[in-house]
Amino acid sequence: MPGLSFVPAIPGYHNNPASTILLKKPLREISGISYHGYNKLAGINDEDGILFYIDTQTGQYTKTTFGEKGDYEDIVRTPAGYFVLESNGTLHQLDGISGKELAIFHHDFPKFTEFESLCYNARSNQLILICKTCGPNEPFIHAWSFDLTSNSFRNDPVFSIAFTDIRRLGKDDTIECQPSAAAFHPITNQLYIIASLGKVLIQCKPDGTPEAVYGINADLFQQPEGLCFAPNGDLFICNEGRQSKASLLYFPYQASDARRD
C-alpha cells in the first residue's frame, strides 16, 4: 500500500484519496483539469486541441475539438467561458457550453519563460499564469495576470515566490520546484500550487505569499499535471501517464477541519 498523500497533512483533507480512477488512453497525456459540473471535470491533453468532459466517478468521457495541435498545458473555467493555456503563455478562450474557440490572446513574456499552470481568482476576476521555468537559473517562481474585464495581460509579474522561501517552509534546502498546476480554493481563497518536479504542494495567501509547503507522495503522484477544486472545496488531482495509465485522485473537503480567512 502506498503511504500518505501529503506530508504534513493538508488541513481540511484526509491524507488518502477517497477514490483513484485510471483514465483512458486518449487522456494519458492529460495536462489540465477544471471543474465543469456535478461529477464532471473538463480536461485537456498536451498535444491536441480537444476538450474532454470527464465523469469523476467512472472516468468515461465525451470530447469536442476546439483547435489545432499545440502544447496545451492547463485549463480553467470562468464566467467568460473556459481558458486554455499554451506553454508560451498564449490563452485560448472557449465557450463554456459548446467548447467552441472564441478568441486567442498573445503576450510577449521574458525569454526562456515556460508555463504549465493557469488559475482563476474569482475575487479579482483575473487569470493567474504561473511559470514552470522562469529563466536560466532563476531562483523565483513568477506569476502574471490576465484581466477578464479588459482582456489584457499585465506586463510585470503580479507576484514572485523565492525558492529560498519554499525551501525554508519545506525544511529542505535541496527542493527544486517547477509548478505544473494551480488553483484557488473556493472557500478559503488560498492558492495551491503543485509541482511535478520537486514533488511539493505549496499553499499561498491570495497574493502569492507562501504559507506552507507539503511533500507529495511520488507513488501516488507520479506526474501531477492538473489540480482543481469543486465549489464545495473537494480537491481533484490528475497524473499524466508515464509507464502506466493516467489517473484522477479525489479528496473530499472537510470544512470543519480547515482554517478559513
CA angle at 146 for the pair 225 and 107, rounded to the nearest 5°: 90
Answer yes or no: pTM beyond 0.75: yes
**HEC assignment per residue over 211-243:** EEEEEECCCCCCCEEEEEECCCCCEEEEECCCC
* Cis peptide, bond prior to residue 252, ω within 30 of zero: no
pLDDT tens per residue across span 199-218:
999 999 999 999 999 999 99
CA 32 to each of CA 74, 212, 254: distance values in angstroms, whole numbers, following the listed order: 4, 23, 24
Measured over the CA atoms of residue 173, residue 175, residue 176 and residue 179, the dihedral's sign is negative
Burial class of residue 35 (count of CB atoms within 10 Å of its CB; 0-12, 13-18, 19+): buried
For residue 135, what pLDDT is reported? 84
Instruction: Count Cβ neighbours within 10 Å for each residue of 102-129 and write b for 16 or more, e otherwise.
Output: eeeeeeebeeebbbbbbbbbeeeebbbb
Residues of the chain predicted below pLDDT 50 = 1, 259-261
pLDDT tens per residue across span 110-158:
999 999 999 999 999 999 999 999 988 889 999 999 999 999 999 999 9
For residue 260, what pLDDT is reported? 41
CA 54 to each of CA 24, 44, 49: distance values in angstroms, whole numbers, following the listed order: 10, 10, 16
